[in-house]
Amino acid sequence: MKFCSECAHPVSLSIPDGDNRLRHVCPQCGTIHYQNPKMVVGSIPVWEVDGKAQVLLCTRAIEPRYGYWTLPAGFMENDETTAEAAARETVEEAGAHIELGNLFSLLNVQRVHQVHLFYLARLLDLDFAPGIESLEVRLFAEEAIPWEELAFPTVRTTLELFFADRAKLREGGSYGVHTGDITRPMAIPAD
C-alpha cells in the first residue's frame, strides 16, 4: 500500500496511539489502514462406493501452482458465510452438486496471512466438470491420491486427516474438527 484509499495522500508506516504494531497510516486524513488475514474456504467432496471414499480433486488452471491438484477452495467473499463460500467454490471449480456437511479442518498459513477452512461434502451425483479455474476434475480413491502433485500443504494435511478419520469410522468413530498450523511451504519436487 502506497497511497491512502480515502484521500490519495501517500501513507506512512507508524504505530498509532494505543497500538503496538506498525500500520499504514495517512498523515493527511488520519485513516489507519489495517491489514488482516484472509480466509480461504473449500470442501472435501466425497463419493462413496461400497463404503469406500473417493474424493474429488481439481487441477488448477491458474497460478500459483498451475497444473497441481487441489480440493475446490477459494477466497471467502464479504457477502457470504463460510459454508456458503465452501459450497460456491465447489460449484465454481468442480461443477459439482453437493450436500455440504460439517466443518472438518481449520489450518493457519501464517506465512501468507491466510486461514484455510475445509468442510465435508457429499457428492449427489457424478455430473461434475471443470470450471474456469480448473483444467480437470477427477475422483480419487485413497491409494490413487497424487500426493506428490498436490497444490498446497493445507490440501495435503486435510486429505491426510480425512483418510485417517475414515479409518476410524470403520471402528465406530466419527469425523473430527481438526485445527492446526502449516509452518513450511509445499515442497516443490525437483525436475
Smallest gap from residue 115 Cβ to a copy of itself (A): 6
Smallest gap from residue 45 Cβ to a copy of itself (A): 19
Is 31 or 160 the residue whose CB approaches a copy of itself more closely?
Answer: 31
Burial of 5 (0-12, 13-18, 19+ CB in 10 A): exposed
Is 35 or 136 the residue whose CB approaches a copy of itself more closely?
Answer: 35
What is the C-alpha to C-alpha distance for residues 186 and 184, in angstroms, rounded to an integer?
7
Q: What residues are paired with 100 via a beta bridge?
A: 121
Smallest gap from residue 40 Cβ to a copy of itself (A): 10
Is 106 or 139 the residue whose CB approaches a copy of itself more closely?
Answer: 106
Is 7 or 144 the residue whose CB approaches a copy of itself more closely?
Answer: 7
Smallest gap from residue 138 Cβ to a copy of itself (A): 23
Is 20 or 170 the residue whose CB approaches a copy of itself more closely?
Answer: 20
DSSP-derived secondary structure for 9-24: PBPEEE--TT--S-EE
- Distance spanning both ends of the chain, measured CA to CA: 36
Helix residue ranges per DSSP H, the chain:
82-94, 153-169
Kindly state the cell numbers that stand for 101: 456437511
Smallest gap from residue 122 Cβ to a copy of itself (A): 17
Residues 6+ apart with CB under 8 A from 133: 58, 60, 61, 62, 74, 92, 93
**Positions that interact with a copy of itself (CB under 8 A):** 1-8, 10-11, 18, 21, 33-39, 75-83, 102-103, 106, 108, 110, 113, 115, 132, 177, 179, 181
